[in-house]
């Protein structure tokens, strides 16, 4: 498997929610040159799609971003990892998050319980705050972030140090009309930032956004933490995180309103990214 620390530079998040043909799309993504395919945690009703993606492809890394530990137990994850590893060594990564009660200490206990079952080098941890970033450095291969600015990425890289993996999941709306693209991005922003069980709102404030930005999601905020517009705008957003210190950027396409879906975005950008 090519690329930086097994994940390469660019990944594509696929939609496994609606039945669809995500396995065929995974094959195409690999052919286009993407080095990893991802499944976002909110879509994982079971862990089966992860095994299916490994079996459908040849070399590409498969990663969940994230496996929510308040839905799936460590034993279930370790069993899946062992089974897939026996079939296709080195292909599956385990991205963790989702524990809300005692999020740092409880997550540390889970990671320690997986020692000897899932190598540290194949674990990633959803992390935004400084303590979670420290835990990602100490108990996993690195961190997965989302809804962050390139300036945040630079600070996260400094805190993680040079050896840890830093993944940025970048929300993308590919649309020639930038105002329309921003509106498409406000939907997932509202869901994530407004959720009572995530730290996104707190991290927005740490990054310097005020209540006027959070109330209705200002253009300034949307443009800073996601990429909406034509291919040039989206590519600039992706490259900004790489320049700031990210190892790997995941394209997470927002496809409502007739905008391109994951594989269409993957096709449109592959020639410039890969």
Confidence tier at 256 by pLDDT (50, 70, 90) = confident
Domain membership of residue 128 as a residue range: 4-273
**pLDDT one-digit tens code per residue, 90-149:** 999 999 987 776 779 999 999 999 999 999 999 999 999 999 999 999 999 999 999 999
From residue 186, alpha-carbon distances to 55, 87, 182 in Å are: 35, 40, 6
- Of 38, 63, 57, 51, nearest to 123 (Cα)? 63
Residue 196 pLDDT class (50, 70, 90 cuts): low
Total domains in the fold of the chain: 1
Give the pLDDT band (50/70/90) at residue 197.
low
The more confidently predicted of residues 274 and 4 is 274
pLDDT band of 2, cuts 50, 70, 90: very low
Which CATH number goes with the domain that contains 68? 3.20.20.30
User: Would you give the distance in Å from CA 213 to the centre of its chain?
Assistant: 23
Question: Which pair of tokens denotes residue 39?
Answer: 């499944």
Higher-confidence position of 90 and 41: 90
Would strands 248-253 and 10-13 be described as parallel, antiparallel, or unpaired?
Answer: parallel
Mean pLDDT (whole number) for 257-267: 93
- Range name among 1-5, 76-80, 112-116, 169-173 with the lowest pLDDT average: 1-5
């Amino acid at each position: 498997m090519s690329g930086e620390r097994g994940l390469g530079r660019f990944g594509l998040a696929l939609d496994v929610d609606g039945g669809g043909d995500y396995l065929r799309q995974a094959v195409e993504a690999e052919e286009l040159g993407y080095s990893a395919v991802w499944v976002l945690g909110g879509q994982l009703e079971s862990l089966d799609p992860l095994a299916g993606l490994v079996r459908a492809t040849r070399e590409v890394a498969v990663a969940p971003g994230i496996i929510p530990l308040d839905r799936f137990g460590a034993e279930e994850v370790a069993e899946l990892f062992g089974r897939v590893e026996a079939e296709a060594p080195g292909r599956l990564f385990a991205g963790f998050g989702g524990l809300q009660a005692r999020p740092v200490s409880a997550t540390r206990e889970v990671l320690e319980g997986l020692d000897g079952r899932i190598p540290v080098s194949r674990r990633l941890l959803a992390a935004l705050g400084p303590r979670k970033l420290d835990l990602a450095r100490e108990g996993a291969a690195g961190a997965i972030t989302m809804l962050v600015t390139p300036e945040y990425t630079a600070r996260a890289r400094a805190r993680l140090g040079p050896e840890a993996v830093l993944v940025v999941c970048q929300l993308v709306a590919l649309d020639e009309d930038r105002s329309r693209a921003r509106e498409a991005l406000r939907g997932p922003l509202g869901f994530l930032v407004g959720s009572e069980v995530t730290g996104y709102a707190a991290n927005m404030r740490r990054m310097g956004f005020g209540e006027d930005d959070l109330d209705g999601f200002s253009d300034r905020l949307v443009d800073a933490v996601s990429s909406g517009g034509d291919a040039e705008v989206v590519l600039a957003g992706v490259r900004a995180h790489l320049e700031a210190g990210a190892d790997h950027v995941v394209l997470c396409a927002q496809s409502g309103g007739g905008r391109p879906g994951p594989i269409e975005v993957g096709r449109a950008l592959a020639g410039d990214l890969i």
